[in-house]
Amino acid sequence: MANWTGWQVLYLQKEQWSALHTTAAILFILSGVFHVYFNWSALVHYVVSRQKLNLKRELLAAVAIVVLFLLGTAYHLPPFQTVIDANDRIKTYWDERSQPAPYPHAEESTLREFAARVNLPLEEITAKLQAAGLEAEDPGQTIGELAEIYKKTPSQLFGILRSRTGRGTTESFSLSEGRGEGRGQGRGQGQGGGYGQGMGRMTLSSLCEQNSLSLAKIQAALQERGISVQGDTKVREIADRLEMTPSELLDWLGQLSDAAAPAGQEGATP
């Protein structure tokens, strides 16, 4: 999602923050190694005195703090879990305010690959881009590269392509088109589609809104399976209870809507 939407904090993008995180970690490790090397005698003397362990209160306190953090995080205890939940809320905020990619890392796909994944003719994609003043003559060019050339985000390019003209009407191609020839083909088709890891952090109501699904019908179907959910229930939680992945859950929910749609209106909201 960060790469797809051009996410930035303090003028740094996700890849730059990731690189900074890696180099800072290396600096931290090297600093620790040099510190131990140049202070080895003092450190050994601090722990072992006169051939005996010298368990000072500061040493025991440091060990206790480390153990507390490890156990608190592993067993989801507050305030450690509170921090993790806050992190998830921040990620969810960015996920829900942005148009999701049709499949994970779509910005790394070439135009040719992208066209195949979303079931849209390559000629139509290039025509839509040209109509918006964006030349895309090389089908081997990635979505990300094209976005960088025209100072846009991959999400903005996707917004240009979302609406297309056909049969005299303006239509929108949906996320289901990236899964095959229809939602009804089963769970396996969903592995390449969906929102990637960010979909699990979405709420059920947001998922329904973005995919034109009936929240009430889905709640009723889940209730039949003994699962009571609210609109703000996380997709990941529902998928785990059904022993599905978030993408498989989206496929299953789409099949519910397809089954309820009138003939000739597959995928319509019931």
59 pLDDT tier (thresholds 50, 70, 90): confident
Residue 89 CB contacts under 8 Å (≥ 6 apart), including other chains: none
Which pLDDT value is given to residue 198?
61
Q: pLDDT tens-digit profile of 238-259? A: 888 888 887 788 888 877 766 5
**What mean pLDDT, rounded, does the chain reach?**
78
Q: pLDDT tens-digit profile of 71-96? A: 999 999 999 999 998 988 887 777 77
Domain segments of the chain as ranges: 2-36+43-83, 109-173, 199-260
Which pLDDT value is given to residue 191?
37
**pLDDT for 99 beyond 50:** yes
Taking CA atoms, 270 is separated from 67, 165, 175, 208, 227, in Å, by 52, 25, 18, 12, 21
**pLDDT for 165 beyond 60:** no
Please count the other Cβ atoms lying within 10 Å of the Cβ belonging to residue 39: 12
Rounded (10°) angle between helices 215-224 and 246-260: 110
Top pLDDT among 39 and 177 is at 39
Which pLDDT value is given to residue 163?
57
Please count the other Cβ atoms lying within 10 Å of the Cβ belonging to residue 202: 22
Percentage of the chain surpassing pLDDT 90? 22
**pLDDT for 196 beyond 70:** no
pTM higher than 0.85 for the full model?
no
Looking at 20-34, 60-74, 206-220, 251-265, which range is the least confident one? 251-265
